[in-house]
Amino acid sequence: MKRHVVAVAVADGAPTLELAVPCEVFGIDRSDLVDPWYELRLCAAQPGPLRTAAGLIVPTSDGLDRLGEADTVVVAACSRAVQLDPSADLLEAVRRAHELGRRIVSICSGAYVLAAAGLLDGRRATAHWMSAMDFTHRFPDVDFDPASLYIQDGTILTSAGTGSAIDLCLHLVRQDHGSAVANEVARRMVVPPHREGGQAQYARPPVRVRKASDTLAPVLEWARRHLHEQLTVPQLAREAGLSERTFARRFRETFGTTPLQWILQERVRLAQELLETTDDAVESVAQRTGFGGATNLRYHFGRLTGVSPQTYRHVFRHRTAQQRRAGWAEEMPSER
């Protein structure tokens, strides 16, 4: 199986954490999960040496000419100077990669580069919510959404800042290798399971500072353990020790969605993992995920993923079989 190459275009002064995220997700060898894992290339968007905003040296081994060879091109978050005036070479390299059919991804302010290259005209896109006024003024032809964590419009994906970069990178892993692999990467990074891109970037500040024990994390973990059961908002509120009204309000403030919509997303995610890792019939998967029956599962699964459970299983089983065959071929001694 061909190794998936992720090339990151890096300019001087890139925010450190946003650059570190794709390095963490794609640059660490995780061939025990998928073999081969990704190959990460850091491509210098300008003559070096390059440093992050915090002063760390970025060991770029490739130039912009290598972007077009990659399967996925990531434009890292960039300094204000690059946002205002990205180099012609960088813009041309990104356009060329797009023309070649590569998957194009921006992290936070990297969306400025994609927009300046003309790739976002007429498309939905996002970046950090604080950039909303500036971005929409400079690029009026872009359908800018300042609320979403990340947005996929065809083969072009854009994300907000910092934490949402993790969500977007895990989304790419899930697309390439399935939900089970993406969830395992999240566990190894000690971050919550992947969040849907439509969730809100930020929450309104709470009225008071809450104790650690006064968070929603425990009830979320409880709900994940009981997805096979009938779950209601009053039941979740009781588990959280809150009134139903307070629980619903606090949940939306924190996650930008309703408790029932969150449960639906978690059930679909669990169904994805079961379809990838077990031979259970669709009816059994529906029971184990709390959908009750196959018809209900097919409806909600198709609405959230765009494919049927059977198609999803076929695609990821086929990929797994290809990976195994590729592994066996490498282990077999060649005939002389």
Stated pTM of the model: 0.68
User: Whole-number mean pLDDT of the chain?
Assistant: 86
Nearest to 157 by CA among 98, 201, 116, 199: 98
Domain map of the chain by residue range?
A: 5-188, 204-315
pLDDT interval class at 211 (50, 70, 90): very low
Q: Which CATH architecture has domain 204-315?
A: Orthogonal Bundle (1.10)
pLDDT tens profile 41-79: 999 998 878 999 999 999 998 999 999 999 999 999 999
* Sequence-ordered list of residues with C-beta below 8 angstroms from that of 9, at least 6 positions apart, any chain: 43, 45, 64, 67, 73, 74, 75, 76, 90, 93, 94, 110, 113
At the fourth CATH level, which superfamily is domain 5-188? Answer: Class I glutamine amidotransferase (GATase) domain (3.40.50.880)
What is the residue type of 320? T
As a whole number of angstroms, the distance between CA 243 and CA 236 comes to 10
Cβ contact 158:106 at 8 Å: yes
Other beta carbons less than 10 A from residue 124's beta carbon: 15
pLDDT tens profile 21-38: 999 999 999 999 999 999
Given a cut of 50, is residue 205 above it in pLDDT?
Answer: no
pLDDT recorded at residue 321:
52
* Sequence-ordered list of residues with C-beta below 8 angstroms from that of 253, at least 6 positions apart, any chain: 203, 204, 206
What are the residue ranges of helices labelled H in 202-293?
A: 217-225, 233-240, 244-255, 259-277, 282-288
Cβ contact 199:256 at 8 Å: yes
pLDDT tens profile 297-308: 999 988 877 778
pLDDT recorded at residue 129:
82
Nearest to 302 by CA among 292, 293, 287, 312: 312
Neighbour-count burial for 294-326, b at 16+ CB within 10 Å, e otherwise? beebbebbeebbeeebeebbeebeebbeeeeee
> Max alpha carbon distance in the chain (Å)?
74
pLDDT recorded at residue 224:
92
